[in-house]
Structure 1
């Protein structure tokens, strides 16, 4: 059986992750990954990663054009953003969404089916005043092929945790 590129990308990302809860989420996603196609939301049990729940966001993917609707937003993310976006489209939340990396990176994940990882100071304005963020976007595909949801986890860190040289 050939490994799906998304699992290969996850294996590349795993050693880069600093926060244990974020690492735990990626390890869990890898454990439910069928290997030859992407996992679906139906494969994911949120109770298996309780430490991740406050920092998770689940977005539905719409295509042509890409749009992302927030299905679930964890309490730590709501606090950081200063608002709960559940049920809203991200392009409604950020009218300048074409300039937002959080949108562009979701488009990348939805189009490629590959996880996306970043660590560094976020260019997206949020309530915690531009603290460093470590985050991952993980694709879900009900049919195993076309991304229909993206699971995100964001860890908001102290300024002392910012990496030298900017985001990764």
Structure 2
């Protein structure tokens, strides 16, 4: 048996595959579903997809809803930091502040418990190698009010194992206008 055949025989699906399929089953908005379907399509069977596997030209209509954060591991066991490399127009409009090149912990008011959630959920992605999906009432304060947010933080890893980037797809559902 060749090394390649032996490797294929022992290949087990990466745990993130199940997380992606579970999120796809729950995802409501087409933006989120389409991104998750694309992500599933670039996901190797036994590893995480790399940043290079993501081709923005394959999903141009989704780009306004995406955020790419680089994972920066800290010395002495301190938690990783997340530096935003790319932020789509819809995300920038929702937060109403410049994001590119900034660290998430500098943007969020981490003294407010709900403001820590976006950072903590990304820490979970780094630690487990599995995506985090959520749909529900916003846990953050936004300059605009939203009835619901739906997002998925998806891990990327150059070596297929160590998460070095997180790609997030976001959909913000506006509140229905109040008629008087």
Scaled by the length of structure 1, the TM-score of the pair is 0.90
User: 1:81/1:141 Cα in 2 relative to 1: closer, same or farther (>3 Å)?
Assistant: same
- The answer on 1:137 being equivalent to 2:147 is no
Would you say the 8 A contact 1:124–1:130 is kept in 2?
A: no
User: 1:98/1:146 Cα in 2 relative to 1: closer, same or farther (>3 Å)?
Assistant: farther
Stretches of structure 1 that go unaligned for 5 or more consecutive residues are 161-168
1:86 to 100, 124, 127: 100
What is aligned with 2:129?
113
Q: Which has the larger radius of gyration?
A: 2
**Runs of 4+ displaced beyond 6 Å:** none
SS at match of 1:157: strand
* Distance (whole Å) between structure 2 residues aligned to residue 86 and residue 132 of structure 1: 24
Would you say the 8 A contact 1:37–1:144 is kept in 2?
A: yes
* Distance (whole Å) between structure 2 residues aligned to residue 101 and residue 59 of structure 1: 15
Scaled by the length of structure 2, the TM-score of the pair is 0.84
* Distance (whole Å) between structure 1 residues aligned to residue 84 and residue 29 of structure 2: 24
User: 1:71/1:97 Cα in 2 relative to 1: closer, same or farther (>3 Å)?
Assistant: farther
User: 1:159/1:28 Cα in 2 relative to 1: closer, same or farther (>3 Å)?
Assistant: same
- Counting only pairs closer than 5 Å after superposition, residues 87-106 of structure 1 correspond to structure 2 as 87-96=101-110, 99=113, 100-106=116-122
* Distance (whole Å) between structure 2 residues aligned to residue 21 and residue 79 of structure 1: 17
**How many residue pairs were aligned?**
160
SS at match of 2:70: strand
* Distance (whole Å) between structure 2 residues aligned to residue 89 and residue 13 of structure 1: 27
Task: Output the aligned Cα RMSD.
Answer: 1.4
